């Protein structure tokens, strides 16, 4: 690409508008992620879950909207705030909760914990704790998908803080050069630990990071799950059709602290309350009521089902066995000969 060429822009997606049942399913999935994490937070304070735990509460529309735009062959790679993405990609509430409890029935057999959820059977490729380090992995996954002609694309989630890492830039350069089928999604939740976006970067739209390498880029408000579905839909269509990678910035917000040990005192006064007005659950509930005439009774039944599924996940995790100590070194090194 030369400097006199116009920058490409992302067209609208060709996904049909979502119908009543489809939107109810997305609402249910967002609510389930939230309930599971609320119960995980409770278990954490009871010291039943140990180690790090980064909650996704407030950001559910990003994972769920993205999943609605993807096909099973698409492979997801993400950071440590990944409970919601794991569930949206197909990890069950039980397998997620059991992993947080460090139990053998967890998605990573209890050997990973909160930051290392992994389930190759649903093409959820983790869960990584080093900020930005997984972005090159996503480019590698995309390379593999391209060679194997599976029709799948790689989708890589990362935070606003990760968009300052060297490894991130290198991955962008190579992904664009090799026209890899990968969609980079920066979840700009306004904070990297306690540092707000305007204190960490002169540039506050991280999708503009794509400009320097000639990558199609777009920023959008991601509180509405239908908007996320549409914009990620457009991006995966672009990547799937062989046009190369896309970088999106999904503007979102985390309602909880960075991790369980963060009281989040760095927020401006009234900021959290203001942001809660755009809670993804509220937005979709309003749409369900206003456009699809979903009733109180329907929503109550849905909530009861979600509560039961989340409580069942806790019970399952509590009753599951811990991993056998003989498995301690499993998955550290490849088995001999492979
Ligand atoms: C290379 C590296 N540096 C620092 C850390 C410590 N750390 C963990 S999370 C985090 C902030 C990242 O923020 P962001 O990318 O915005 O993601 P968010 O937590 O908001 O989802 C930092 C600095 C780390 N894990 N890895
Ligand atoms: Mg952040």
CATH of 20-319, one of 2.30.30.190, 3.90.650.10, 1.10.10.10, 3.40.50.970: 3.40.50.970
Beta partners for 155? 76, 183
Which ligand is closest in space to the CA of residue 167?
1
Q: What percent of the chain has pLDDT over 90?
A: 94
CB of 257 closer than 6 angstroms to any ligand 1 atom? no
What is the rounded average pLDDT of the residues 38-55?
97
Ligand 1 pocket, mutate which of 54, 192, 222 (most atoms under 8 A from CB) = 192
Q: Angle at CA 130, nearest 5°, toward 173 and 271?
A: 95
How much is the pTM? 0.97
Which ligand is closest in space to the CA of residue 188?
2
User: From the CA of 192, how far away is ligand 1's center (Å)?
Assistant: 6
**Is the CA virtual torsion 127, 82, 248, 121 positive or negative?**
positive
In tens, the pLDDT along 307-317 reads: 999 999 999 99
State the chain's maximal CA–CA distance in angstroms. 63
| CA–CA dist 224, 18 (Å, integer) | 13
Residue 337's pLDDT is: 60
Nearest protein Cα to ligand 1, atom 8? 131
Nearest protein Cα to ligand 1, atom 7? 131
User: From the CA of 159, how far away is ligand 1's center (Å)?
Assistant: 8
Nearest protein Cα to ligand 1, atom 5? 131
User: From the CA of 252, how far away is ligand 2's center (Å)?
Assistant: 9
User: From the CA of 333, how far away is ligand 2's center (Å)?
Assistant: 32
CB of 57 closer than 6 angstroms to any ligand 1 atom? no
| HEC secondary structure over 66-122 | HHHHCCCCCEEEECCCCHHHHHHHCCCHHHHHHHHCCCCCCCCCCCCCHHHCCEHHH
Residue 4 predicted with pLDDT over 90: no
CB of 135 closer than 6 angstroms to any ligand 1 atom? no
User: From the CA of 194, how far away is ligand 2's center (Å)?
Assistant: 9
Q: What is the CA radius of gyration of the chain?
A: 20
In tens, the pLDDT along 276-296 reads: 999 999 999 999 999 999 999
CB of 275 closer than 6 angstroms to any ligand 1 atom? no
In tens, the pLDDT along 142-192 reads: 999 999 999 999 999 999 999 999 999 999 999 999 999 999 999 999 999
Residue 314's pLDDT is: 98
Beta partners for 159? 187
Q: Angle at CA 61, nearest 5°, toward 300 and 97?
A: 70
CB of 129 closer than 6 angstroms to any ligand 1 atom? yes
CB of 163 closer than 6 angstroms to any ligand 1 atom? no
Residues with CB in 5 Å of ion ligand 2: 159-160, 189, 192
193 or 6, greater pLDDT: 193
CB of 190 closer than 6 angstroms to any ligand 1 atom? no
| CA–CA dist 222, 62 (Å, integer) | 6
CB of 162 closer than 6 angstroms to any ligand 1 atom? yes
CB of 264 closer than 6 angstroms to any ligand 1 atom? no
CA atoms within 13 A on the CB side of 10: 28
Confidence bin at 332 (pLDDT 50/70/90)? confident
Q: Ligand 1, residue 159: give the atom nearest the CA.
A: 15
CB of 258 closer than 6 angstroms to any ligand 1 atom? yes
Q: Angle at CA 257, nearest 5°, toward 251 and 258?
A: 75
Q: What percent of the chain has pLDDT over 70?
A: 99
Residue 301's pLDDT is: 98
In tens, the pLDDT along 92-125 reads: 999 999 999 999 999 999 999 999 999 999 999 9
Residue 7's pLDDT is: 86
Residue 1's pLDDT is: 82
User: From the CA of 281, how far away is ligand 2's center (Å)?
Assistant: 20
Residue 169's pLDDT is: 97
* 297 Cβ contact partners less than 8 Å away, ≥ 6 residues apart: none
Q: Angle at CA 161, nearest 5°, toward 183 and 260?
A: 110
CB of 160 closer than 6 angstroms to any ligand 1 atom? yes
Mean pLDDT of the chain: 96
């Amino acid at each position: 690409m030369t400097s006199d060429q116009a920058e490409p822009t992302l067209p609208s997606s060709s996904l049909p508008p979502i119908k009543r049942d489809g939107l109810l399913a997305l609402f249910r999935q967002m609510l389930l992620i939230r309930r599971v994490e609320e119960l995980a937070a409770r278990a954490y304070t009871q010291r039943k879950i140990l180690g790090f735990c980064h909650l996704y509460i407030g950001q559910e529309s990003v994972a769920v909207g993205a999943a609605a735009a993807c096909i099973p062959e698409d492979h997801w790679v993400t950071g440590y705030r990944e409970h919601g993405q794991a569930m949206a990609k197909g990890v069950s509430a039980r397998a997620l909760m059991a992993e947080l409890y460090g139990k053998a029935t967890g998605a990573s057999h209890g050997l990973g914990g909160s930051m290392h959820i992994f389930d190759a059977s649903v093409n959820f490729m983790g869960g990584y704790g080093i900020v930005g380090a997984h972005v090159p992995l996503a480019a590698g996954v995309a390379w593999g998908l391209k060679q194997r002609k599976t029709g799948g694309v790689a989708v890589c989630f990362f935070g606003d803080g990760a968009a300052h890492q060297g490894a991130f830039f290198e991955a962008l350069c190579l992904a664009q050069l090799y026209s890899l089928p990968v969609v980079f999604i920066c979840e700009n939740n306004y904070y990297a630990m306690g540092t707000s976006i305007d204190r960490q970067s002169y540039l506050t739209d991280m999708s503009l990071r794509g400009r320097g390498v000639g990558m199609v880029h777009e920023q959008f408000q991601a509180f509405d799950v239908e908007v996320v579905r549409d914009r990620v839909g457009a991006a995966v269509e672009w990547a799937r059709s062989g046009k190369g990678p896309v970088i999106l910035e999904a503007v979102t917000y985390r309602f909880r602290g960075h991790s369980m040990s963060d009281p989040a005192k760095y927020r401006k006064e009234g900021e959290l309350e203001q942001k809660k007005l755009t809670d993804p659950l509220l937005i979709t509930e309003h749409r369900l009521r206003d456009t699809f005439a979903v009733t109180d009774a329907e929503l109550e039944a849905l909530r009861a089902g979600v509560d039961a599924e989340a409580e069942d996940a806790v019970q399952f995790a509590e009753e599951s066995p811990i991993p056998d100590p003989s498995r301690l070194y499993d998955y550290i090194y490849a088995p001999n000969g492979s």
